[in-house]
Amino acid sequence: MEDEEATKRFYALVWPHAAMVLRAARYLVRNAAEADDIAQETMIKAFKAIDRFQDGTEIRAWLMTILRNTRIDHVRTAAAAAKNVSLDHLGAEPADTSEEHVHDDDPAWDNPEELLEGFSDSHVIEALHELPEEIRWTLLLVEVEQMSHEDAAKVLGVPEGTVKSRAFRGRAMLRKSLLPIAKELRLVR
């Protein structure tokens, strides 16, 4: 593909999603400068690979896959430099906490969208940062970016059932994490 044609294609297909890439990187990484670097590197990789993007493919899923791989590359680089970080711990699923699910009969929990409006962005982002990275990725794709479970599974390289399970557990973990704040803000009893 010619350079000029590739550039036009990039700006038509990819560039409108630059804010999504940056937002996703910032949800995933606590350090804003590192998140900016990962987002920028993702966009550069997308630009270089635009000739391999197949029409009909979900562009957001394609970009999120590049973002995820870029994040993994950064973690591996940091682990190699630090010599004390194990990659074995990154992909681990958290233990099933089904017995620990928050059970609260407060009717405020019946309308989670309205309840979330009562929290500041920093409350929600901090709660997300406390989740295991794979759960955070799943919630980002399914809840924030509104991807289908099928597309999220492709991005994460896991079966669709794993995405459904992680999303369910992630919501429960977020709810448990946000419950004390909700009580403090008198959003629930």
DSSP string, 35-46: HHHHHHHHHHHH
Say if 53 falls within a structural domain: yes
Under a CB-based contact definition with an 8 Å cutoff, are residues 120 and 79 in contact?
no
Under a CB-based contact definition with an 8 Å cutoff, are residues 106 and 182 in contact?
no
Between helices 59-82 and 18-28, what is the axis angle to 10°? Answer: 40
Under a CB-based contact definition with an 8 Å cutoff, are residues 142 and 163 in contact?
yes
Please report which confidence band the pLDDT of residue 148 belongs to, taking 50, 70 and 90 as the band edges. Answer: very high
Longest dimension (CA), the chain: 62
The most confident of 60-64, 70-74, 170-174, by mean pLDDT: 60-64
Statement to judge: residues 77 and 104 lie in one domain:
no
Statement to judge: residues 178 and 119 lie in one domain:
yes
The residue among 35, 61, 89 that closes a domain is 89
Under a CB-based contact definition with an 8 Å cutoff, are residues 111 and 105 in contact?
no
Domain extent, residue 72, equals 3-89
Please report which confidence band the pLDDT of residue 57 belongs to, taking 50, 70 and 90 as the band edges. Answer: confident
Phi/psi for 95 (5° steps) reads -60, 150
Reduced to 3 states (helix: H, G, I; strand: E, B; else coil), residue 18 is: helix
The residue among 89, 108, 130 that closes a domain is 89
* Residue pLDDT, tens place only, 168-177: 999 889 888 8
**CB neighbours of residue 131 within 10 Å:** 19
Statement to judge: residues 82 and 106 lie in one domain:
no
What CATH number is associated with residue 50?
Answer: 1.10.1740.10
The share of the chain scoring above pLDDT 70, in percent, equals 80
The residue among 89, 115, 150 that closes a domain is 89
Statement to judge: residues 121 and 160 lie in one domain:
yes
Q: Tokens 């044609």 identify what position?
A: 5
Domains in the chain, number? 2
- pLDDT above 80 for 85: no
Q: Tokens 């992680």 identify what position?
A: 166
Instruction: Round to whole Å and give the CA distance between 84 and 165.
Output: 30
Q: Tokens 């394609």 identify what position?
A: 62
Q: Could you tell me the two tokens for 94?
A: 């958290």
Q: What is the pLDDT of residue 151?
A: 93
The most confident of 15-29, 80-94, 97-111, by mean pLDDT: 15-29
Statement to judge: residues 180 and 108 lie in one domain:
yes
Statement to judge: residues 120 and 160 lie in one domain:
yes
Say if 29 falls within a structural domain: yes
Statement to judge: residues 110 and 130 lie in one domain:
yes
